[in-house]
Chain A
């Protein structure tokens, strides 16, 4: 199977390139976090209200915070080699478990937002390309630029004001009704109701990007010979747009979508703050505030891994959309 071999080769190359990047990220982050004033023991002592020198020292030695920096780094790398992200002094549980609790929430939020952004963006972009230069194009272009300029946290708050406070249609925060015993379809509807506003606020910024990108690449594809051929053999305009133009225009969009995974995670930090969504971004923020560096390192590492995986997936999607790409 040449296709499988090709995919295997692509994956192996991605993996080989990813290893030094990941190592660089770990080491860079590690030293960066060492620069921060204070450690987890300081914050824990501060929150407890009082602490003796002895108990602080005991805390530090228990979590290895009193070792020299290089020893700590070696220890951390050793942990990683055993697929362990370490132990959080603050939450009192392994970092992997902690992240595992929060990751699904953030991933669903990001996935829903990405789907909304791509669907809306492609539809708007196709409309803009179809009416290029005419009134609908101008209006939609201004709108997309407006979306691009709105901070996600602000539109989040505005959506809360409108849909939760004024209309009372949708809940203003959280990820599900507390203490509800819903199952099956009603549980899904309940989750979806909590998902609508955060996902929309996260997606709006990217809708603008995808709409403009779709427009640009569709206009580019439109003038190529195979499109003229498709029209000449009598296909309907919709058929040509959907099957010939859009399919080819999707390639830059998938590239951008892969690049946006990291950006979306950053946006999730802010949106999760607005909607008190229990996710990874919120955890990262709490970890920064609590000087819980093991958790923070784990999150940074994991999210970088997510970006690398997303880019690998994009490569595969490209190979599927355009066989010429994989053949190279």
Chain B
């Protein structure tokens, strides 16, 4: 995903920016920055806004990303999880919620069930493999929806300013003041839990962060000379927003999106842990939720799905870090 996005971004960004780029400090100005090790700060990226926009060279960004061992590890693990999610119905065609063996088999006890069975004799490995499907589905779809809406709102608010900005900022503020997870629980409970409603609800609570970020970027870029040039050429608002400003505002949004997927997966698992997930689908969170009652006798039922969550989310966060280093080379961001 990263290579294509950055590629198009590169081609659009290069022309209007070539002159202003020379004023920027060199990328490797910070002595603390080793070449192999770069700054890990993706979670904070959502609070950042770059008021000065640097030219991001797509090929250079890709090279930085690919030379980062952590990011590579994250990417390969994510690819592994995606392959597993796609292959799960082939490897374990049976319903993971059906009883297949003796209950409470510990991992390694029976070679037919490498990760053991739960209190009802359901195969834990099959559950974990199938659980990756719902986690990835919810994570990716919710992020896509939240990104679309957030970018739309944020770009409108940042580009037009004035009363549009006032109204939209008020809306963002309302959503950011409400505790998001409490709101999520309320939304899912109202709409009856299912994979679709959980996805929509997570999108509803995650768009304000994107909107805020996009708005800040747009406000900074709106004043640049090339936007003025585009305006004086008579370009329409839509063209300026989507073809001129948005490509230049993308890097922080791309970084945020990988963290958003991670957060969405965490939220989905927390919801299904509390019994608010889709009841007809096995998910990592619901496996932990049922294993919780037996935590004293059969703790592997809780531990194993949790490890699946931790590693998937860790992989996404590593990717986010790698993207952040590749796309936001300036060490210090103006807050």
Contact = CB atoms under 8 A, between A and B. Distances in A.
Interface in B276-326: 285, 288, 292, 295-296, 299, 302-303, 306, 309-311, 313-314, 317-318, 321
A157 B44 contact: no
B270 A153 contact: yes
B124 to A, nearest CB: 15
Interface centre among B33, B70, B178, B269 (most CB of A within 10 A): B178
B189 A149 contact: no
B177 A307 contact: yes
Contacts of A289: 189
B159 to A, nearest CB: 23
Interface string A258-271: 01001101110110
Contacts of A285: 185, 274
Contact of A145 (B174, B181, B306, B314): B314
Interface SS, A side:
helix
A285 B177 CA distance: 19
Interface string A23-47: 0110011001101110000000000
Contacts of A165: 295-296, 299
A212 B40 contact: yes
B315 to A, nearest CB: 8
Given A150-B310, A266-B179, A138 B37 contact: yes
Q: Which of A145, A209, A299 has the most chain B CB atoms inside 10 A of its CB? A: A145
Interface stretch (A85-93, A213-221, A238-246): A213-221
A262 B186 contact: no
Contact of B177 (A32, A255, A262): A262
A161 B299 contact: yes
Nearest to A36: B190
Contact of A151 (B33, B171, B269, B295): B269
B92 interface: no
A133 interface: yes
Nearest to A22: B177
A256 B181 CA distance: 17
Contacts of B327: none
A288 B185 contact: yes
A308 interface: yes
Nearest to A308: B177
Contacts of A201: none
B174 A25 contact: yes
Contacts of B43: 148, 208-209, 212
B266 to A, nearest CB: 5
B15 interface: no
A281 B182 contact: yes
A154 B189 contact: no
Contact of A303 (B70, B176, B179, B266): B179
Contacts of A209: 43-44
A99 B44 CA distance: 33
A149 B30 contact: no
Interface string A130-169: 0011000110011011101111111001101100010000
A304 B292 CA distance: 31
Interface string B260-282: 00100010011001100000000
B4 interface: no
Contact of B174 (A21, A153, A252, A284): A21
Contact of B34 (A133, A212, A213): A133
B212 to A, nearest CB: 11
A196 B179 CA distance: 24
A263 B180 contact: yes
A274 B279 CA distance: 20
Given A209-B43, A212-B41, A154 B295 contact: no
Contacts of B179: 262-263, 265-266, 300, 303-304, 307
Given A144-B40, A165-B295, A216-B44, 7 more contacts: A150-B313, A153-B288, A160-B295, A161-B295, A220-B332, A252-B47, A300-B179
Interface of A: 20-21, 24-25, 28-29, 32-33, 35-37, 132-133, 137-138, 141-142, 144-146, 148-154, 157-158, 160-161, 165, 208-209, 212-213, 215-216, 219-220, 223, 252, 255-256, 259, 262-263, 265-267, 269-270, 273-274, 281, 284-285, 288-289, 296, 299-300, 303-304, 307-308
Interface of B: 30, 32-34, 37, 39-41, 43-44, 47, 70, 170-171, 173-174, 176-187, 189-190, 192, 262, 266, 269-270, 273-274, 285, 288, 292, 295-296, 299, 302-303, 306, 309-311, 313-314, 317-318, 321, 331-332, 335
**Which are the 4 A-B pairs with shortest beta-carbon distances?**
A266-B181, A154-B306, A149-B313, A149-B314
